[in-house]
Amino acid sequence: MQIGYRSQYYSARGIATRRTLEPPFTLVGQHRTLAEAVTTSLRQAILTSQLRPGDRLWQDRLSHQFGVSRIPVREALRQLASEGLVTLQAHRNAIVTDLTAEELEQLYAIGGTLEALAAARGVPNLTDSHLDEMRDLLDQMPQHEDRPQIWFELNLRFHMVVPRASGWQYLIRLIEEARKNLGRYVTAQRIYEANLRSWHAQHTEYYRACHERDVAEARRVAESHWTYSSDALQSYIRSLKVGKSAEAHAQGAIAPTSQHTHPPRARAAAGRKER
């Protein structure tokens, strides 16, 4: 039986509220192990904001929900922690992590540097098979723009072709983890819809550089692609802050501005006492 459960959600101000996670989680996709299936299901829930920053994940409740023992749940939480999506806590539970604006800026800067390095190492090793895969993924992404999660998976596969061609396993893992961690921000509705066209143009430019085996151009495009996305996200965060500031100002503008602290009748009574 599938069940939902209550979770405590912390806002950016640290205020705790209670909410129920609906719909309940189910295992998605076909995987070699139960741990992989649980990992994929929880990762998808985080990337699609079904699980939000601050949501607590209890091993016993997740094992009940998925119909598995605690062992694959524990392994899944460890994997998600290595990707930066959750933070492990006492008693083998976890909490969905959030990234500050400064942390996002750092992660984008690091990701751009790493992917530029991957281009330097990987582009010379690209085969016709690699390029065919990139071309196919490039063509598929526009067909799934109405389904951000599928688009994101295709986008991830597209960007991982070159790093995998580099043969540097540690570099591959770092880039993949960074991209997975940023997926929930990339697919946020306002950011996603506002930047799809620009992203597609940048992907096309990157593919062209790879196809021509132009290492210098591939490095430039790879890094500028990360910089563009970072600027778009930072701009969105600033707009949210401006919106909140304007709302607070508007609320202050309609609040009473009288310097008197007593209601009219109280002030009149106070005046009579003075006389």
User: Does 260 score more than 50 pLDDT?
Assistant: no
Residue 87 makes CB contacts below 8 A (sequence gap 6+) with 81, 94, 95, 97
CATH of the domain at 80: 1.10.10.10
Bridging pattern class, strands 16-20 and 56-57:
unpaired
Q: Model confidence over 50-101: pLDDT tens digits?
A: 888 889 999 999 999 999 999 999 999 999 998 888 999 987 789 999 888 8
Q: Model confidence over 219-257: pLDDT tens digits?
A: 999 999 999 999 999 998 888 776 555 555 555 544 444
76, 96, 116 — which closes off a domain? 96
Q: What pLDDT does residue 44 have? A: 83
* Residue 269, in any domain of the structure: no
Q: Model confidence over 147-184: pLDDT tens digits?
A: 998 999 999 999 999 999 999 999 999 999 899 889 88
Query: Are 59 and 119 within one domain?
Result: no
CATH of the domain at 206: 1.20.120.530
Query: Are 50 and 144 within one domain?
Result: no
Residue 88 makes CB contacts below 8 A (sequence gap 6+) with 77, 78, 81, 94
* Residue 272, in any domain of the structure: no
Indicate the average pLDDT of the chain. Answer: 82
- In this structure, of 37-41, 155-159, 211-215, the range with the lowest mean pLDDT score is 37-41
User: Does 263 score more than 70 pLDDT?
Assistant: no
- Nearest-angstrom CA–CA distance, 72 and 66: 10
Of the candidates 33, 91, 30, 16, the residue with the CA atom closest to the CA atom of residue 61: 91
Q: What total of structural domains would you count in the chain?
A: 2
* Residue percentage of the chain with pLDDT more than 70: 76
* Residue 263, in any domain of the structure: no
* Residue 115, in any domain of the structure: yes
- Looking from the CA of 52 toward its CB, the CA atoms found within 13 Å total 15
Q: What pLDDT does residue 199 have? A: 98
User: Does 193 score more than 70 pLDDT?
Assistant: yes
Q: What pLDDT does residue 22 have? A: 40
Q: What pLDDT does residue 256 have? A: 44
* Residue 76, in any domain of the structure: yes
Read off the pLDDT band of 188 (50, 70, 90): confident
Query: What's the domain range around 61?
Result: 6-96
Query: Are 119 and 205 within one domain?
Result: yes
